[in-house]
Amino acid sequence: MSVEARTGPVVPGRRARASAVVGRELRRRERRFRHRDKWWGYALIAPAGLGLAVFYLWPVVQTVYYSLTRWGAFGGTTWIGLSNYRTLVADPEFWQSLANTGIYTGLVLLGIPLSMVLAVLLNLKGLRGTGVYRTLYFLPVVTMPAAVAVVWRWLYNGDVGILNQALSALGIDGTYWVSDPDTIRFAVAVVGVWMTVGHHMILLLAGLQSIPADYYEAASLDGAGRIRQFFSVTLPLLSPTLFFTTVLSVIQSLQVFDLVYLIIGANTQNSLQNPAFGEGQTVVMLFFQKAFFDNQRGYGAAIVCVLFVLIMALTAVQFRLQKRWVHYA
């Protein structure tokens, strides 16, 4: 915004000269301010910025460096170039865990349409008890993943789990959900969806409520039914929120660790006996195993570097694609 605009229209004569003086003075002051402000700004963000640099950026740089080294159990790194990455490309365990993580992410993304439905239902006018439902759906989000995992492990228990008891009442023979290689990924993804649906729902609900009622009025005047209104008004105007939840969901799912780790029972003494371990293991779990149990920390660093690049690339692609479907009102 220019100074002229701020001081009003330029008029000829004395006032014009005066305003020119004022304008110069203002410009001068603004420059000085801007200069001083800049330093103030930096000073104010310094604590946070320093923390970020020390605890995030520097470790990122270090991790990239370590991924190019062999790192002994007690420090002492040896530069080995791209050797870790070559091992990684040839490691079936890595590809398997990458596939597992991909499938998990895909399945968890299905939670977004589900939360959309929930949000739309909760947004219906004149619905009673929405507060209760909102709280209920949101509860899993604020529950510790560790607690969630332990409880679901029991629900899924093949012999005494409540899920199989319910199924047997319907005459269906349930399996050992978390120790069966065919079902582990789905079992885990269901919990993943259950845990995130509330979060997405709240965001989408906020998005829904920020759509002005005029649009719906106009649409109904034009003869659009509710379905048509949903697809032509709600969906496009909600697309920024949908985009946001999708991006967030993908990033979080690719990094999934604690939930799967505990559901698989990797915290227990003989965790690796789980015959579904290979089908359940995620990339971050593999990293954890390699870095902290097998003492191959350089290799572990390489695994997370690949994951990091992968997440960046996927997010970039999503930002590219958003032009096709996201409408910013």
Partner 1 sequence: MRRRSLLTAAAASTLAAAPLAAGCGPASSPSASGGGSRRGHLTYGVWDVYQVPAMKRVAREFERSRPGVTVDVQLTPNGTYWTKLRTACTGGSAPDVFWMNGPNFGMYADAGQLLPLETDGPEPVLRSADFPPDLVSLYRWKGVQYGVPKDFDTVALWFNKEIFDRAKVDYPDASWSWQDLITNAQRLTDRKRGIYGVGAPVREQENYYNSVPQAGGWVISPDKRRSGYSDERTLEGLRLWIDLIHRYRASPTLQQMTDTDPTQMFQSGTLAMTYEASYNAATFHADRELRAKVDVAPMPKGRRRATVLHGLANVIYARTPQPELAREFVRFLGGKRASLLQGKYGTAIPARNGTAEPWAAGMPRFDLQVHLDALDYAVPYPSSANSAAWQHKDQMWLAKAWSGDLSLKEATSSLTTAMNQLLAQERKGES
Q: Which residues bind partner 1 (CB under 8 A)?
A: 70, 72-75, 153, 156-161, 176, 178-181, 265, 267-270, 272-278, 289, 292-296
CB of 48 or CB of 90, closer to partner 1? 90
Phi and psi at 316, nearest 5°, equal: -60, -45
CB of 169 or CB of 213, closer to partner 1? 169
Yes or no: say if 306 and 88 are a contact pair by the CB < 8 Å rule: yes
CB of 255 or CB of 295, closer to partner 1? 295
Separation between Cα atoms, residue 78 and residue 271, nearest integer Å: 32
Q: 177-216 in b/e burial notation, b at 16+ Cβ within 10 A?
A: bbbbeebbbebbbbbbbbbbbbbbbbbbbebbeebeeebb
Rounded least distance, CB 1 to partner 1, Å? 54
Yes or no: say if 301 and 63 are a contact pair by the CB < 8 Å rule: yes
CB of 49 or CB of 181, closer to partner 1? 181
Yes or no: say if 303 and 287 are a contact pair by the CB < 8 Å rule: yes
Rounded least distance, CB 291 to partner 1, Å? 9
CB of 23 or CB of 278, closer to partner 1? 278
CB of 220 or CB of 295, closer to partner 1? 295
Phi and psi at 69, nearest 5°, equal: -130, 170
10 Å Cβ neighbour count for 128?
Answer: 7
Rounded least distance, CB 182 to partner 1, Å? 11
Rounded least distance, CB 75 to partner 1, Å? 5
Rounded least distance, CB 185 to partner 1, Å? 16
CB of 210 or CB of 267, closer to partner 1? 267
Separation between Cα atoms, residue 111 and residue 194, nearest integer Å: 8
Separation between Cα atoms, residue 193 and residue 109, nearest integer Å: 8
Rounded least distance, CB 80 to partner 1, Å? 9
Task: Collect all residues with Cβ–Cβ distance below 8 Å to 261 and sequence separation of at least 6.
Answer: 149, 267, 285, 288
**CB pairs under 8 A, 24+ apart, for 168-175?**
none
Rounded least distance, CB 98 to partner 1, Å? 17
